[in-house]
Chain A
Amino acid sequence: MTDSTVEAVESFRLRARAWLAENMPRVDVDAVPPPPGDDDAEWVRTRELQKKLYAGGFAGICFPSEYGGLGLTPEHQRAFTEESEGYEMPLLLNVPTFSICAPTIMDMGSEQQKRERISAAIRGDEILVQFLSEPSGGSDLAGLVTRADRDGDTWVLNGAKTWSTCAYAADYALCLARTDWDAPKHRGLTMFLVKVHQPGITMRRITQVSGSTEFCEEFFDDLVLPADAVVGEVNGGWAVASRQLFHERTAVGGGSPFTSGRGTGRVSQPKPDLVQIARASGRAADPRVREMLGEGHALERVQEQLIRRVSIGLETGQMPSPAASIMRLGHAETDWRVDDLALEIAGGLAVSGEGPGRVGDNFLMRQGASLGGGSTEMSRNIISERILGMPREYAADRDVPFSQVKRGSS
């Protein structure tokens, strides 16, 4: 599509408004959320909703048309997201399928991978996840020990991945593995696109403190991968992972142009806001509580404003790509404080897990937002080293063949 034929944002918005009203179900605010861990029905629903968006011509708004998207701008996407407020949306696909995995494939994948995987995701046929972290560590991603050995034209994968969100519901995963043990750690890695459900992979679900079982753990036993499963170059996996981490920070910070609809959560159960919690606790008129409501609201608005500023900075080249970590860190801090405020506002009522908005349960998962998507400590390293130019942390494994690098016992 050339620029001159791109639909104006306002006309797109009006068309979206009419189409949503006609076709998408409204969120039922009174619906009882499913018990944590039992979300198979939500995944079925998510795929249905994505198929509806696709059939209506509103899926993959910022993806190029040759890969099944609409080839429109982030402004179009923002307009659609605003219009979609109050409707059920396939939010579970926002992270990681659309905001992390698909853009990584778009940046680094082969033409065939782009045509097949991205369009299948946009059609609502496939879900993509990330196999990065391992039981031995996630922050030091390049220190991973899952191995892929070449066997003629194919690769044989052995090892384990963990904390992979929603892998049980997925079709394909981006999986980083070590393919050269004599090279220093960053230079011996290769990225693969792996079919999630197949012989050779054993999957186990992990229960989170909230009761959710969206975390998974995978074990690979002589899993055979075809040559065309490689994304990017053999032993060039770090370049692919770097793009993936960039998209991940942007997504986790809340600034991805590829997400559609507000939030990353469940179809039917948006996180309760502080005003609702205050009202349910009977404290919305208490000046102490009102000050907290104001503080929480301000922080959430500021985070949106920060995302906008950094997104513009990245788009116009006025900020270097590590600036995505600024959004990521800002997001985690906002989340912390808002979770704390929720607890403080619910006051004594937080004792019961039943309390307004399940404040207590939410609080137990507070650090999730500071770990998933790379920890806030890693963001601080990136901001100080790559934006402020401060000296890099000492690394005992720099330029050492990976086979000689010391590893921990846990």
Chain B
Amino acid sequence: MDLVLSADQKLFRATVKGFLEKEAPLTRVRELADTSTGFDRDWWSRAAELGWTAMLVSEELGGGSVSGDGLLDLAIVAEEFGRGVGPGPLLATNIVLAGLAAATDGPDHSHIVEALVSGESVATWAVYEPGGQWSPLTPGLTAKPGSDGFVLDGVKDRVELAEQADLLLVTATTEQGLTQFLVPADAAGVSVEASRSLDLVRRFAEVRFAGVEVPGSAVVGLVGRAEPLVERQLQVAIVLQSAETCGALERVFEFTTQWAFDRYSFGRPLASYQALKHRFADMKTWIEACHATTGAAARAVQDGAEDAAELVSVAKSYVGSRSTQILQDCVQMHGGIGVTWEHDLHLYLRRATVNRALYGTPEDHRLRIADIIAPSERKTS
């Protein structure tokens, strides 16, 4: 993230870090891995009291941030989350809040926003569909007119923390086009089934919608006009995800470097071998570049800059591929211990691998970039 933080932001970072180190150290994350929920709701309410769900929300609805640049402050939290592979719906809830905050037209959801900000409710975005790659604009899930609103039919998967969430933000196709709905997870006709999740605490699930009736007031924004909201949710998702990955890289690089000083072979530390020193130099350079591009994307999205969509895809293209490459190299630097369950490396590798794959792969985002820089040959689907 940005090298230059204000005094308030530095203090804020220290508070976040302190809270996570005390309340969710890796030992706790490992314990949570064995629970059915992957995080603790009371704990999340306390995290929300620190403002982690308030930063993308206007002050009238109980929101606010340290610097006034909410997304930049939130990226600081995400980075600290990455350092400790934090549990809980930080990304899931904030992505939904980003969509709700951007939906200035349409039904009022302020009571829901307030419940999410207080940590009392948890929400998540249901956008992927079984067997599908990233294609948020063409959902197979349909919402047809019903007696009192809409009827939803279809299946979503890779829904983050769906088993724990109270509300689902569902991206659907209606006769008028792309539309998003806020659906209570306990609505009749909604069934949730946990999927096998690569990340030990960030769980995913499949959600089936069988004739789920929702009122017109469940629409987020305007019917048929969800595309800019989806783009906004995507941009926020990638910024937070990249910031989280940067934090993970930073932490793993620290302990891997320390390991290279402490571990000896042939009577000298690993850190004295040029073949390995050069790999550490490469990793250091790539990590700085990951920070640089994440910071630039965060700033652009925060400011609503013209090139925000492009810079988000640039960040995903770079951070997505480099992160897993760096982490695998760190595994290699550790030797055999690096591929054990006992070592913490895999906790980070799991998180980064999920982040790489989610919300469009680096390869998907390269195609998005191509559509921006060479639009005339763009494939129209």
Contact = CB atoms under 8 A, between A and B. Distances in A.
B288 A309 contact: yes
Contacts of A278: 374
Interface residues of B, number: 43
Contact of A291 (B260, B274, B277, B367): B367
A313 B3 contact: yes
Given A298-B366, A299-B318, A301-B314, A310 B274 contact: no
A384 B291 CA distance: 19
Interface in B255-272: 257, 260-261, 268-269, 271-272
Contact of B317 (A275, A294, A380, A385): A294
Interface stretch (A87-95, A163-171, A215-223, A282-290): A282-290
Q: Which of B277, B292, B365, B379 has the most CB of A within 10 A?
A: B292
Contacts of B268: 391
A299 B292 CA distance: 12
The bracket for how many chain A residues form the interface is 35 or more
Contacts of A326: 284-285, 288
Nearest to B274: A393
A140 to B, nearest CB: 15
Interface in A355-405: 377, 379-385, 387-388, 390-391, 393
A343 B73 CA distance: 42
Nearest to A293: B370
A342 B283 CA distance: 25
Contact of A381 (B277, B373, B379): B277
B295 interface: yes
Given A284-B377, A312-B3, A381-B277, A291 B363 contact: yes
A293 B274 contact: no
Contacts of B291: 309
A313 B291 CA distance: 12
Contacts of A298: 313-314, 317-318, 365-366, 369
A301 B311 contact: yes
B260 A293 contact: no
Contacts of A275: 373-374
B278 interface: yes
Contacts of B257: 388
Interface in B271-290: 271-272, 274, 277-278, 280-282, 284-285, 288-289
A293 B292 contact: no
Interface in B335-370: 363, 365-370
A393 B260 CA distance: 15
Contacts of B295: 305, 309
Contacts of B201: none
Contact of A295 (B277, B289, B310, B366): B366
Given A284-B374, A293-B366, A294-B317, A390 B379 contact: no
Contacts of B285: 306, 326, 329-330, 333, 383
B94 interface: no
A316 interface: yes
- Which of A285, A309, A312 lies at the interface centre, i.e. has the most chain B CB atoms within 10 A of its CB? A309
Given A301-B314, A302-B292, A318-B3, A384 B370 contact: no
Closest 10 CB pairs of A and B: A294-B366, A384-B277, A294-B369, A383-B281, A290-B370, A380-B281, A298-B317, A309-B292, A285-B377, A305-B292
22 contacts: A275-B374, A287-B367, A287-B379, A290-B370, A291-B366, A292-B366, A294-B368, A298-B313, A305-B292, A305-B295, A306-B288, A309-B288, A309-B292, A312-B3, A329-B285, A380-B277, A383-B280, A383-B284, A385-B277, A391-B269, A391-B271, A393-B274
Given A295-B317, A299-B318, A383-B280, 10 more contacts: A297-B370, A298-B314, A301-B311, A302-B292, A306-B292, A330-B288, A333-B285, A384-B277, A384-B281, A391-B272
